[in-house]
Amino acid sequence: MLSSKLSANRIALAITFILLLVIPHIASSYIVYVVILAILFSMLSASYDLLTGYAGPLSFCHAAFYGLGAYTSALLTLKTGMSFWLALPISGMSVFLFGAVIGYPALKLRGHYFAVTTFFFGHFMYLVFLNTRELTGGPLGLGGIQPPESIFGIDFSGMTANYYLILIFGILMVGFLYALVNSGFGRLIVSIRENEDLAEAVGVNTAFFKVLAFSISAGLAGITGSLFAHFFRLLHPSTFSWMTSEMIVVMVLVGGAGTLVGPIIGAGVVTFILEMMRFAPELRFVIWAILLIAILVIEPRGLAGIYARIRGGK
């Protein structure tokens, strides 16, 4: 029974992987665009899951780190003429460090206090993006961002090359997170989630590991932001508002926090549902919210619970 489940999962994974590989060659450019968005949101959700799913604290500012990475990378390339391939790791590192600076005081708070503080930090960063006009262009947006420079003779001005670039980064990031949560570090942060006081009592430096999980999660969001900036080439503060942060929270919680694969599926499903409803832009979020509530009423554990039911029913 167990082995058949495992192999079914493997087959599903293989099919998904092959589909992801061939999509640019079989689908319209609009579909490819949506899949790119889905991959970017999967990266955000997976990195968010490291903090909220594995280490525990519920945060509401992931989009702020996403935006910070995007603006850092865009401004580095625009103002200093730096190459994208250098700007990407630099923006990731700087968001990582920034995450540590914010996480250190904020993670002294627990539960709702932490959640509301991050909520406000997210809103504050949105105001910064909106109001530092000389840098970010404010409400007019920041345009003129160049695509990644060509490397190994691959030109990144088209959709397909960008697709594979983002897909590779997505796979690398998920692989990294998978290795991380299955390492000693992963077990340490899960022990913090399960019982912080006990973890501290047996000698885990909980403050340090929580801040580390927060910063890694932020840094990965920064890298995702950098990829987004050079793919979309136009940045607007509203992309990184608290709505986006909440969307990521919803993707992760609906998909199943603390499973890594759940948030990725959640991100894919939510992105596609929202795109499918482009025909009714006014009603998009209304329908979406009703769907979300309906899912939770039927199966409070979200997609992971529905999946478990289907498996169990067989």
Which residues are near other proteins by CB under 8 A?
Answer: 58, 105-106, 108-109, 112-113, 115-117, 119-121, 123-124, 127-128, 130-131, 242, 246, 249-250, 253-254, 257, 282-286, 288-290, 292-293, 296-297, 300-301
With beta carbons less than 8 A apart as the criterion, state whether 38 and 170 touch: no
Measured from the CB atom, the residue of 39 and 249 that comes closer to other proteins is: 249
Q: Distance from first CA to last CA of the chain, Å, rounded?
A: 11
Spatial CB neighbours of 58, under 8 Å, sequence gap ≥ 6? 52, 114, 115, 249
In 10 A of CB 53, how many CB atoms? 24
Measured from the CB atom, the residue of 38 and 257 that comes closer to other proteins is: 257
Measured from the CB atom, the residue of 226 and 259 that comes closer to other proteins is: 259
Measured from the CB atom, the residue of 200 and 246 that comes closer to other proteins is: 246
Q: How far is the CB of 140 from other proteins (least distance, A)?
A: 15
Cα separation, 77 vs 84, whole angstroms: 6
Q: How far is the CB of 149 from other proteins (least distance, A)?
A: 35
Distances (CA, A) of 168 to 24, 154, 227: 14, 14, 11
Torsion 308-310-313-314 (CA) sign: negative
Q: Give the torsion through C-alpha atoms of 80, 82, 84, 88, to 10 deg.
A: -80
Cα separation, 219 vs 76, whole angstroms: 16
Q: How far is the CB of 57 from other proteins (least distance, A)?
A: 12
Q: How far is the CB of 71 from other proteins (least distance, A)?
A: 17
Measured from the CB atom, the residue of 32 and 250 that comes closer to other proteins is: 250
Measured from the CB atom, the residue of 217 and 245 that comes closer to other proteins is: 245
Burial of 287 (0-12, 13-18, 19+ CB in 10 A): middle
The DSSP annotation for 25-37 comes to HHS-HHHHHHHHH
Q: How far is the CB of 79 from other proteins (least distance, A)?
A: 22
Measured from the CB atom, the residue of 149 and 275 that comes closer to other proteins is: 275
With beta carbons less than 8 A apart as the criterion, state whether 61 and 51 touch: no
Q: How far is the CB of 231 from other proteins (least distance, A)?
A: 26
Cα separation, 10 vs 100, whole angstroms: 37
With beta carbons less than 8 A apart as the criterion, state whether 55 and 189 touch: yes
Q: How far is the CB of 284 from other proteins (least distance, A)?
A: 8
Measured from the CB atom, the residue of 139 and 175 that comes closer to other proteins is: 139
Q: How far is the CB of 301 from other proteins (least distance, A)?
A: 7
